[in-house]
Amino acid sequence: MGAAGDTPSSAIGASELRRDVSVWGSYMWGYADVGADIYVALGIVALAALGFTPLAFLAAGLVYAMVGLCYAELASAYPVAGGGQYFALRGLGDLWGFVAGSALLLDYTIDIALFTVISFGYFNFFMPFAQTLTVKVGPTHVQWFWLLETIAGIVVLIWMNVRGIKVSSSFNNLLGVVAITGQAIIVIAGFSLVWDPGLVVQNFTHYPATLGQFALGSSLAIISFVGLESISQVAQETRRPATIIPRTSIGLILSVLLFAMAFSILAAGMVPLGQGPHNGFFGHSGDPVALIAGHIPVIGIVAAPLTALIGGVIVFISANSGVVSASRLTYSMSLFRLVPRWFNKVNKRYATPTRTIIVFSCVAIVQTLIAFLTPGGSGAAGNAAIELLTDLYAFGATTGYLIVFVSLITLRFKDPYTPRPYRMPLNLPVTVKGRTVDFPVLGVLGMIGVAITLFEVVFTHPLGRIAGPGWILLCGILYMVYRRRQKLPALGNVPRNWEEAQKRVLREAEEFESLEEYEGVLADRDAAGTKPA
């Protein structure tokens, strides 16, 4: 396969990835990644935002909704593996495409590590002896059985994803239905049998969060919505992406936002949200949903095992989405000469980017080892290693999202010819050089919202503000070295024919109506003598 960038006119090589992802599979890729996050975020947000916990989730949820609409537009217009990295590359150039890619790659590898650790923490409810199997390594007592479980889990994810997107998607579809059903039971039973609106008011009035506490809480709440990017990562393997992606993205926005707000409001009406030990989630930041389920009559008897099973399942499929997203992201980056072309090798039998799957899953294994070998570690909630992973998870996502919003606005002006089957609402027509362009008002608001969230992450997370930029800087140095060795512009762009690339993408996606529209618009432009942007 020819890699992008081999000739000045090239941009995207012919795709070797199979289009095996259906509309339900596309939805489940997003839900598998985002739906698990409430199991991690609810407790830590409640401990930070106190009685304002539902407001913290609402603030983060509004930002998440705008991020989702942004991705729905871009992924349906540019259905190529790479997601935010590709959008930044198209809109802002090679360097910013790499920065966005490295930020999102940080997010995905931590997704694999963090969620596999937490998943087996839930599953170990059924094997209490796992907590006692430790070995002393320096100052740390390492829970070796849990560590081996986690590494074995990542190896299983590697095997599934090497076998193909259809196998991995089927896994998500099956277990995702189980997870959604379990969450719905807890929410419905909780509101019907236990929830007390008077306690919500009491928590809000007696335990208000300060500005700093609310900033910390809302920055942590964004973790509940990280992962929607995974839909765009499999866009090049999705059937009829122009139709499917907007529908699944909007459906995912509504369902995840509904569950996140339902759990936060349910918690405020069931658990006191005071300071420190007076907060009902004190000591339960690692199993907040189990705490809620345990307060519900009828199902309370089986709440612990039920929640452990559901939590373990949904968190594990989130880790699976991390493998897919990391592999597709680096596959895309290699095609555009942002990372070595060694990464774009596709397995001939299964048509999957085997090398990227294995390499970045191994990066996640290294991150897992760091978590278990950190003093006070072994994945226990609240230790320094897990706190660092959580901080970086939020940092990588918000950094990537901010760049994607800038790319959306830029592409509206730079590439007005590409058909957009879906556009973000609230657009103002503006005239630039005699051409009318729809200015995305909601896109600007989303960009501002993400920028505020990123500021909150950096301001309130001492570990994240050091390690996050450190990761970007290290990746940037490797990028500069690689580009110089390849005699490519370190700060500039490799010349590419984006118009021919877009035609090829639409043709391979079988979006023939969009292709016909695109060719017609370009013909009209050329006839009028207008120069491409």
Rounded Cα distance between 359 and 345, Å, is 12
Instruction: Tell if the pTM clears 0.85, that is, is over it.
Output: no
- Cβ–Cβ under 8 Å, residues 108 and 33: no
pLDDT in tens, the chain (533 residues): 333 344 433 455 444 445 555 566 667 766 766 777 787 788 888 988 999 999 999 999 999 899 989 988 998 898 887 788 999 999 999 999 999 999 988 888 888 888 888 788 778 777 877 767 878 777 777 778 888 988 999 999 888 888 765 555 666 666 667 777 878 888 898 999 899 999 999 999 999 999 888 988 888 888 777 767 767 666 666 667 777 788 888 888 888 889 889 999 999 999 999 888 888 888 776 678 878 887 887 766 676 677 777 778 777 877 887 887 787 788 788 888 999 988 877 777 777 778 888 988 998 998 888 777 766 544 443 344 566 677 778 888 889 899 999 999 999 999 989 999 899 999 999 887 777 889 999 999 999 999 998 888 888 877 777 888 898 999 999 999 999 999 999 889 999 999 998 998 888 877 888 899 999 989 988 887 766 65
Q: Which amino acid is at 128?
A: P
What number of other Cβ atoms are within 10 A of residue 363's Cβ?
17
Burial of 385 (0-12, 13-18, 19+ CB in 10 A): buried
Query: Does residue 295 sit in helix, strand or coil?
Result: coil
Looking up tokens 């959580």 gives 390
Six-digit token string for 158:
């590697």
Rounded Cα distance between 316 and 121, Å, is 11
Q: Domains in the chain, please, with CATH?
A: 23-528 (1.20.1740.10)
Phi, psi of 346 (to 5 degrees): -110, 135
Rounded Cα distance between 338 and 284, Å, is 42
- Cβ–Cβ under 8 Å, residues 290 and 300: no
- Cβ–Cβ under 8 Å, residues 279 and 47: yes
Rounded Cα distance between 294 and 448, Å, is 39
